[in-house]
Amino acid sequence: MADPHIRSPMDFWDYLTVILYRLGFCVATIMVGLIPFYPEIAQYGLLVAGTMLASSLHLYLKSIRLAFQFVIWLGLLCQIFGFAEVALGAVFAVIAGLCYKEYFCFRIIGLNFQPILLPLLWLSLLFNWQELSHILALICSLLLLLLSIQKWRMPLHFDIGDKQKYQI
């Protein structure tokens, strides 16, 4: 996780990846809210959001960065090979994990419960529990909205931190 008090010089790729990461949360916010109503469209949007998030993640620990990227790759492959439910689970795992990570930055109440809420949303969609999926989608989407707002309120360099601490 980045150190906000350190301002490393940023190049084009730093700006691009920070913006893509933050936009990934915005896309996820919209698509999680839409998933009970337009599941197929929302699923593709969530795959895009998950890819934006995992590919643009700034974490010092290489193993954790790669774990998020591996999960989204598995999700994309599952979608290609017709395992849409597993693909959605993979995307929710990435988003839930990153929400948990961001909880330690922003302390948004409820954000640390996304690793529980998103799997419950996945199950409710899987078993066609419509009322529950509507409620969970609303809660998860609102939490993602709060996170997106908080992310965009801070300077871009906060996401980068000290470049010397990154494991390559």
Residue pLDDT, tens place only, 43-63: 999 999 999 999 999 888 889
Which pLDDT value is given to residue 10?
87
Place of tokens 């597993």: 86
Give CA–CA dist 129/144, Å, rounded. Answer: 22
- CB atoms < 10 A from the CB of 130, how many? 11
Residue 23 has pLDDT above 60, yes or no: yes
Which pLDDT value is given to residue 91?
98
Estimate to the nearest angstrom the gap between the alpha carbon of 14 and the chain centroid: 18
Tokens coding 65:
């960065």
> How would you class 149 by CB atoms within 10 Å of its CB: exposed for 0-12, middle for 13-18, buried for 19 or more?
middle
Pick from 148, 84, 79: which is nearest to 111 by CA? 148
pLDDT class of 4 with cuts at 50, 70, 90: low
pLDDT class of 76 with cuts at 50, 70, 90: very high
Which pLDDT value is given to residue 158?
83
CB 88 within 8 A of CB 125: yes
- CB atoms < 10 A from the CB of 2, how many? 20
Which pLDDT value is given to residue 84?
97
pLDDT class of 138 with cuts at 50, 70, 90: very high
Tokens coding 159:
């996401």
> What average pLDDT score do residues 151-156 get?
91
Which pLDDT value is given to residue 108?
87
Give CA–CA dist 7/16, Å, rounded. Answer: 17
DSSP 8-state symbol, 112 = G
Mean pLDDT of the chain: 93
pLDDT class of 36 with cuts at 50, 70, 90: very high
Which of the pair, 116 or 164, is modelled with greater confidence? 116
CB 10 within 8 A of CB 118: no
Question: For the segment 112-136, what is each residue's pLDDT rounded down to a tens digit?
Answer: 999 999 999 999 999 999 999 999 9
> What average pLDDT score do residues 56-85 get?
94
Which pLDDT value is given to residue 148?
96
Tokens coding 118:
């998103």
